[in-house]
Structure 1
Amino acid sequence: MKHEPQGIVSHYLHTQVKEGALLQFTGPSGKFTFSEADAESVVLIAGGVGITPMMSVVRYLTDRSWKKDIFLLFSCKDRVSIIFREELEYLQKRYANLHVTISLSQENSPAEGIYLSGRITKEVLNARVPDITSHRIHICGPVPMIDAVKQILSELNVPKENVRVELFPAPAPPKKTPVPPLGATSSTDTAAVVTFVKSNKKALLTPDKSILEASEEVGVNIDYSCRVGTCGICKTKLLTGSVTMAVEDALDDDDRARHIILACQAKATGPVAVDA
């Protein structure tokens, strides 16, 4: 594994884990996937290590000789930083329906084949992806890159329902702060109370605090991974009350019908109870 000094996982593995250590992993999760039945074409836009899930899609589709267009736009610093470089160059030559563009943000060399200097811009998307509003689009990479690409897609009038996003990496868990007693006053006057029924515990839930954050403060274990509403690991049943969620990407209609919420996104201004 490549060591990224600012990376949460790779830095930990390189600096803390020793040979023979026992590690526990969870399997893949979330809905950031694409198969032949999902759309007539796909645009994959990746930044840095965000190429990883995109390569899974490319391999899946090319292994099955999918005939529809696959547009892959990959942004990284320079040629040395390109992950899967040899494989991408090979697949580009072998499959005529795979259109690869690699933008190098820290190189000023002239455009050559699949390589461009600079970042992925509106002009690049217009030139490399014909009729971009008609395609399914997947984006994965650092948050600033995702925000920039989403803004470009909005300016190009791409329908929001055509866009899927996977954040990479997820934000770190918040720092723990002292938990005031449930009967305390002051700034907690506007707080609601969340009841964790299985654990027989309660916590204050201020308007800006998620149920997952409240659970961590009182020692209730709710599994999680992304903390941004896309993986679905923190799905929890809402027993009473109502919540709002800024992101619900990991929920489907069946989940909503069964009152399943995402603990990392769920916030409330009134009393709620969850099955945790």
Structure 2
Amino acid sequence: MSVVKTISALNQSKPWDSHNQKLICSMVLQDSHDVKTFCFQTTDQAWFLYLPGQFITLELEIDGKVVHGTYTISSSPSRPLSITITVKATKDGYVSKWLHENMKEGMEVKAYGPAGIFTLHNHLADKYLFLAGGVGITPLMSMTRWLFDYGMHTDVSFIQSCQTPSDLLFKRELEGMSARVSDFKLSYICERPDEYGAWTGYTGRLNQLMLELICPDYMEREIFCCGPEPYMQAVRDILNSAGYDMDRYHEESFSAPVASEEEAPEHDDVIIDESNKATVSFIKSDKEVKIQESETILAAAKEAGLHIPNACQFGVCGTCKVKKVSGDVHMVHNGGINDADIEAGYILACCSNPLGPVEVEF
């Protein structure tokens, strides 16, 4: 069909009806070594109506069984002629792996949707902070594309976190938007550089210090976050610790998008209560003190007349690392301790709050 006839048909057609219309794969794009974008149109020239940040559910037949996979839409409703999903092929991703290995241009697929409540249209604001972890960038990319196409000055700070620079998604497109719109500020955080490659950006994992350097006014922004659960847990810990109004925080797990407020999970995050008391025992020094949970292990040591070596008092340098013998603490650090040490029972005294009785080997 010619372009003119296509436009004419669209002017007379209705939006995609997932119950009656299939999708046809129109293009497959390779975004990184393990991420692909699949572009779809309808089989009868319908257009797409949805909110940026919503998702669709694909129905596929794999190995003789009907299976379903839910994926956030990475395209924007401001470009209604096609719809895209951006998918990472993971070792345990049964449907995602099949899509990478089998989905080709011209293939038809049944899909349902769009659905979902993770959209800025439900929380309009003058200033946004978008936090993307890995392929969790997809709904935030949809929102960003919509804002850019809308052509209004909207203050957005966009932080993308991933493992290496090679894993950064939509980098050129994001940088193009940032170069043209002064209100759109873009930052990257990579856990490590590429092998044999230079990296001059932020290195490690998102922490409070990085967040304050990148986006000093984050307390004033409406925050949207999407990524793996450990990433989002770290974000919530940072915000809770800073006293951010969590009613203005919105998240979507790319492994389990929700279609309604009733389906939204309730997080059992640690919220420090200043009225709660805790007992901290220093085993080698034979000292014990009672403090409030809002105080740190380092503060408890000082009250007991002990000196735990320390420097930054912000969870960065790692000088105050001590071993926890028993009990629970809530630690929100800024990169001064690694996962292996945490697994072995070590904590940073300057940023660890005791939750009940705690014993420290000091």
TM range (shorter): 0.5 to 0.7
SS of structure 2 residue aligned to 1:25: strand
2:235 aligned residue:
149
The one-letter amino acid paired with 2:181 is Y
1:79 aligned residue:
165
Deviation, 1:36, is 9.9
Confirm or deny: 8 A CA contact 2:193 2:199 kept in the other structure: no
The one-letter amino acid paired with 1:44 is F
- Share of identical aligned residues, percent? 30
Confirm or deny: 8 A CA contact 2:164 2:192 kept in the other structure: yes
SS of structure 2 residue aligned to 1:101: strand
Confirm or deny: 8 A CA contact 2:117 2:261 kept in the other structure: no
Confirm or deny: 8 A CA contact 2:131 2:226 kept in the other structure: yes
| TM-score calculated relative to the size of structure 2 | 0.45
Alignment gaps of 5+ in structure 2? 1-35, 37-87, 268-362
Deviation, 1:15, is 4.8
- Inter-partner Cα distance in structure 1 for 2:98 and 2:248: 36
Confirm or deny: 8 A CA contact 2:160 2:187 kept in the other structure: yes
User: Residues 45-80 of structure 1, C-alpha deviation per residue, up to 9 Å, x if partnerless?
Assistant: 010110011111111111122213101011011121
**Larger Rg, first or second structure (1 or 2):** 2
- Inter-partner Cα distance in structure 1 for 2:132 and 2:140: 7
The one-letter amino acid paired with 2:93 is G
Residue 54 in structure 1 maps to residue 82 in structure 2: no
Deviation, 1:92, is 1.5
- Inter-partner Cα distance in structure 2 for 1:12 and 1:159: 41
Which residues of 2 match residues 157-168 of structure 1 at below 5 A?
157-168=243-254
Going from structure 1 to structure 2, the CA distance change for 1:130 and 1:83 (only over 3 Å counts) comes to same
Deviation, 1:20, is 7.1
The one-letter amino acid paired with 2:254 is F
User: Which structure has more RCO (C-alpha within 8 Å, separation ≥ 6)?
Assistant: 1
1:231 aligned residue:
259
Deviation, 1:246, is 5.2
2:15 aligned residue:
none
- Inter-partner Cα distance in structure 2 for 1:72 and 1:127: 13
Higher strand fraction (1 or 2): 2
- Inter-partner Cα distance in structure 1 for 2:157 and 2:179: 14
Confirm or deny: 8 A CA contact 1:110 1:117 kept in the other structure: no
SS of structure 2 residue aligned to 1:151: helix
Deviation, 1:19, is 7.9
| TM-score calculated relative to the size of structure 1 | 0.58
